[in-house]
Amino acid sequence: MQLSILFPAVVNGILNGALYALIAFGLTLVYGVLHIINFAHGTLLTAALFAAFFLYRSLGLDPYVALLLLTPAFFLIGYALQRFVIGPVSRGSDSNILLVTLGLAVIIENGLLFAFRGDTRTVDLPYSFAVVPFAGLFISVPRLVGFAGAVVVALLLWLLLTLTDTGKAIRAVAKEKLGAQLSGIDVAHIYALTFGLGTACVAVAACLLIPTYYVNPHVGNAFVLIAFTTVVLGGMGSILGALIGGLFVGLVESVCGLYLGESLGQIGIFTMFILVLLLRPSGLLGARA
């Protein structure tokens, strides 16, 4: 394989991978703290994409500006979902949580389908196709911004978790829920907070994605398994792991796409996902699952 073909694919893969990582942050955070696999994660991304799209359509709001609006909005949505729907309805039962998040996924995706039909929409921004020269290639500016955004978010999350009191409370609940409760931490609140953080990440990802991507109700599906693969690869609950995992997944998809054609590039990811799940020693799988 010629370097001139491989190199752009690699760069492309890394840029995509950063966005996969951003999407995966929320998932891995929720798993690490609540120990649940949020099946609604992909559809929340779709919802955020639609939100960004309509903000642009109706208010002319640039996605990078909409980001400032949508991030807190989706944080609240995520908080409310966990605090008032998922938590109370599932009453802590693992199989119930599974079903509730699946139910939410189905509701959101099909709600969007019903409200906005299945047509694919795109956003055309003046800088959608802007490129910047780098090492003999032309890198898409929005993609580069996406990459930067992912790294910034990762950093912010890390800072939040290690330096702030809230972050410490989150980590306490993740490690030892009962002990945290006994120390006076409001676990339901922390759970909802974490979920909200995860959803906020997804909103950021949506705003960074939208200049170069398309919007339709099924987009979330495409990202769900990619996000899961990222999280499983990088280790459930690890932000850094999700970052590295995302980059790796992006790479694999890009390179596989070269050999197998674009639609089958996804197969490379899923196969990897299945293999990782099967081959990981049972000790790392996590007790709750």
Partner 1 sequence: MTRRAFLPVLVVVGALACVPLVVHSDVVLNFLVTALLLTLAGQGWNLLGGYGGQYSFGHAAFFGTGAYATAILQTRYGLNAWPAFTFGIAAGAGVGAAIGALTFPSGLRGSYFALVTLAFAEVLRILASVAPVTGAGVGILVKLDPGIHALQFSSRAASYWFILSLVAAALVVNRLIEGSRFGAWLVAVREGEAAAQALGVDPTRVKLTAMTASAALTAAAGCFYVQYFLFIDAPIAYGPWISVEALLASIIGGVGTVFGPLLGALMVKTLGEAAKLVTGDAPGLDLMLYGIVLIVVVWIAPRGVAGIGERCRAWFARGSLGAGDTAA
Residues in contact with partner 1 by the rule CB under 8 A:
36-37, 39, 85, 88-90, 93-96, 98-100, 102-107, 109-114, 117-118, 217, 221, 225, 228, 261, 263-264, 266-267, 270-271, 273-274, 277-280, 282, 285, 288-289
Cβ-in-10-Å burial (0-12, 13-18, 19+) of 204 comes to buried
Q: Using the minimum distance from each CB to partner 1, give the nearer residue, 122 or 221.
A: 221
Q: Tell me the closest approach of the beta carbon of residue 184 to partner 1, in angstroms.
A: 29
Q: Using the minimum distance from each CB to partner 1, give the nearer residue, 106 or 132.
A: 106
Q: Tell me the closest approach of the beta carbon of residue 207 to partner 1, in angstroms.
A: 25
Q: Tell me the closest approach of the beta carbon of residue 29 to partner 1, in angstroms.
A: 16
Beta pairing partners, 138 = 133
Q: Tell me the closest approach of the beta carbon of residue 225 to partner 1, in angstroms.
A: 6
Distance CA 67, CA 90 (A): 31
Q: Tell me the closest approach of the beta carbon of residue 252 to partner 1, in angstroms.
A: 15
Distance CA 282, CA 286 (A): 8
Half-sphere exposure of 83 (CA within 13 A, CB side): 15
Q: Using the minimum distance from each CB to partner 1, give the nearer residue, 74 or 273.
A: 273
Q: Using the minimum distance from each CB to partner 1, give the nearer residue, 7 or 270.
A: 270
- Closest C-alpha among 64, 67, 46 to residue 121: 46
Distance CA 17, CA 246 (A): 5
| Alpha-carbon dihedral sign for residues 19, 43, 252, 154 | positive
Distances (CA, A) of 244 to 22, 97, 211, 235: 11, 28, 24, 10
Q: Using the minimum distance from each CB to partner 1, give the nearer residue, 98 or 125.
A: 98
Q: Tell me the closest approach of the beta carbon of residue 231 to partner 1, in angstroms.
A: 10
Q: Using the minimum distance from each CB to partner 1, give the nearer residue, 106 or 155.
A: 106
